[in-house]
Structure 1
Amino acid sequence: MKVICAGFPKTGTKSLKSALSMLGYSVYDYSENMLYYSDKWKQIMDDGWNSDDFKSMYENIDAVCDAPACYFWDEILKAFPDAKVILSTRMTEEEWLISATKQLEVLRNSRILSTAKLLSPTFGRILKAQESLERVVFGLSLKRWGESGCNGTMLRKKYREHNSYVANNAPKGRLLVFHCKEGWKPLCEFLHTSEPDAPFPHENKNGEMLARSSHTDPMMITVKKEIITTGLTAFFSTIIMIFVFLVVLP
């Protein structure tokens, strides 16, 4: 583990993951963590953890970003004390809240995720881990986020407290507070690497990553395969049952 991205979701984490990947780092963000470690993360958030948990999870990974890893950045740092920390931020708390709310609207309206709840065992495990994540990281269920009566004040407070904690407790000289609009220069200087001859990536604007990632994201690929397999199995089982009742039993 070389880099721990401690910024909250919707602070440019997808862009930062893409940038680190372009620099040659292997990166686990939300998708990889939930696909490979959903049961482990649920156990960590429900029952506790130790450094060995994170050592075994990330010993062959260069970087982590997004939730739930961002919230446990200091515990991951104990397992990998030489790692650097990047705190990605938005310009204001309100900008972050608006962006996060838009993302959740996209997720709520996604047909593939609605179908996955019924047909994908992997997505079922992810949802269980997600419930623990919401309770631990945000202190409430995100089912009401964006709806009338949702406590936006508390969510902004969570964001503010997290950023303050990282800024005040990350090792001096090994922390970069970063906004994606700053581009390659501060990131590459911090990591002591050359700037790529390509524009800095800006991913997931207005929550559009879900549609774009359905063919490339490992979690979504697995979920889609399970939807197809389970759906086909149910379809042919139904056909067989109809055949039995109409042809065999009479």
Structure 2
Amino acid sequence: MTVKVIGAGFGRTGTLSLKLALEELDCGPCFHMFELAAQRSHLNQWESALKDETADWDRVFQGYQSTVDFPACVYYAELIEKYPEAKVILTTRESENWHQSAINTILTIRPSLRQLIKVLACYPFSTEARKTYRFAIHNRALIENKVFGGKISDKAHVIKVYEAHQQAVKNTVPRDRLLVYDVRDGWDPLCKFLGVSVPSTPFPSTNDRGDFKKVTRDLFFSF
């Protein structure tokens, strides 16, 4: 099994809906941030990638046929070289709408350093507590610092980074491998791009802000 589809879009562009759609189209399992959050396996590989070291992508994606969302979307350029036969999907959303969603979820709903330290202090012998701490620190370093340069409160800057990433993907990925995709367009463009039949079921729609808050609360504060 190898990676057939690479999602290059940032979180909050319909990536969870795309994950569910790809899995319905037999392009799954699909790796999403929620997989890393739930399993917290291969953190060493993601930490190595963040340090500009070589990650063992085959190990990271073992058992997966596709990937979407953070953290993998940050490494789309490396992944398209590693998996030259994989198709690339750039999920997109109008910049202002994306920012409004992101600032109310992925950019702000996370434990503070004080809360993370408290988890470690309360559960000093818990392997899960240590993994949760590492996972949260990695995400903070990747999304807040590497991607957005530590300026997540600067709206103009965040939108500029988002738009620059979108353009970079379009400039980097060969056109015959790339689908620029709004999940509101449903099955037709996705299925045409992948060369598969359109399912009879409705296109997946999930992960609103309430869902995200619940997942985050369960993830970090369920000890």
Structure 2 counterpart of 1:37, from 36, 42, 51:
42
| Structure 1 residue 214, shift from structure 2 partner | 8.0
TM alignment of 1:130-209, pairs within 5 A: 130-134=139-143, 135-140=145-150, 145=152, 150-209=153-212
Structure 2 counterpart of 1:71, from 65, 69, 74:
74
The change in CA–CA distance for 1:172 and 1:47 in structure 2 (over 3 A counts) is closer
Taking only the aligned residue pairs, the percentage that are identical comes to 33
TM alignment of 1:9-48, pairs within 5 A: 9-24=11-26, 25-34=28-37, 35-48=40-53
| Structure 1 residue 203, shift from structure 2 partner | 1.1
The change in CA–CA distance for 1:169 and 1:100 in structure 2 (over 3 A counts) is same
Aligned pair count reads 208
8 Å Cα contact 2:30-2:64 kept in structure 1 = yes
Q: What SS does structure 2 have at the residue aligned with 1:107?
A: coil
- 1:87-140 Cα distance to aligned partner (Å, 9 max, x none): 0000x2111100101214872489xx8799444222111012113212222211
User: Do residues 96 (structure 1) and 106 (structure 2) align?
Assistant: no
Task: Give the match for residue 128 of structure 1.
Answer: 137
TM-score (norm 1): 0.74
- 1:28-75 Cα distance to aligned partner (Å, 9 max, x none): 11122352222221121124226xx22332243100111110011110
Unaligned runs of at least 5 residues, structure 1: 228-250
Task: Give the match for residue 86 of structure 2.
Answer: 83
- For 1:75 and 1:6, the matched residues in 2 are separated by 11
TM-score (norm 2): 0.83
Root mean square deviation of aligned Cα: 2.7
Q: What SS does structure 2 have at the residue aligned with 1:73?
A: helix
Q: What SS does structure 2 have at the residue aligned with 1:86?
A: strand
- For 1:106 and 1:132, the matched residues in 2 are separated by 14
The change in CA–CA distance for 1:78 and 1:140 in structure 2 (over 3 A counts) is same
- For 1:214 and 1:198, the matched residues in 2 are separated by 31
Structure whose residues are more often helix by fraction:
1
- 1:202-239 Cα distance to aligned partner (Å, 9 max, x none): 11122424426988xxxx4x984xx1xxxxxxxxxxxx
Larger CA Rg, structure 1 vs 2: 1
Structure 2 counterpart of 1:211, from 205, 211, 214:
214
Task: Give the match for residue 233 of structure 1.
Answer: none
The change in CA–CA distance for 1:108 and 1:30 in structure 2 (over 3 A counts) is closer
